[in-house]
Copies of this chain bind each other. A is one copy, B any other.
């Protein structure tokens, strides 16, 4: 059986690789996605989709349209992490198992970054491992399915 996974990135993550490189690294997410994540997915029979938006509403729409279509959500809500209760509700309503990923360690930066309104409705959180965090999330999907 093929496992369908959607990766959802929130605001400003389209700038990864450009934006504050000391915090987010030098590689763009797109490059990483194409070079590493797709390769990994193919090898492990995962079907990946990637979606990025700077619009909270688009992210919610995407979560809704994933219902019945996807087996897993990997989500990095960007700064929406800290206030978007609407995304919280969308994930909870979707009942799709979800993993929260952050590129940087959100617990060692500004105080407001250290609380996530999303965390209570995900399986778990992976924060601080750079783009590799997305790969760890995929590896967990494989563990989860065994």
Residues of A that sit less than 8 Å from B by CB = 10-12, 14-15, 18-20, 53-58, 60-61, 64, 78-80, 82-86, 88-90, 92-93, 105, 107-108, 112, 114-117, 119-129, 132-133, 135-136, 139-140, 143-144
Contacts and interface: CB of A to CB of B under 8 A. Distances in A.
Nearest to A120: B108
A123 to B, nearest CB: 5
A64 B120 contact: no
29 contacts: A11-B57, A11-B86, A12-B89, A12-B90, A19-B93, A20-B92, A54-B60, A54-B64, A54-B90, A55-B58, A55-B60, A56-B56, A56-B57, A78-B86, A79-B84, A80-B85, A80-B86, A82-B85, A105-B120, A107-B116, A107-B120, A107-B125, A122-B128, A124-B127, A124-B129, A125-B126, A132-B144, A135-B143, A139-B139
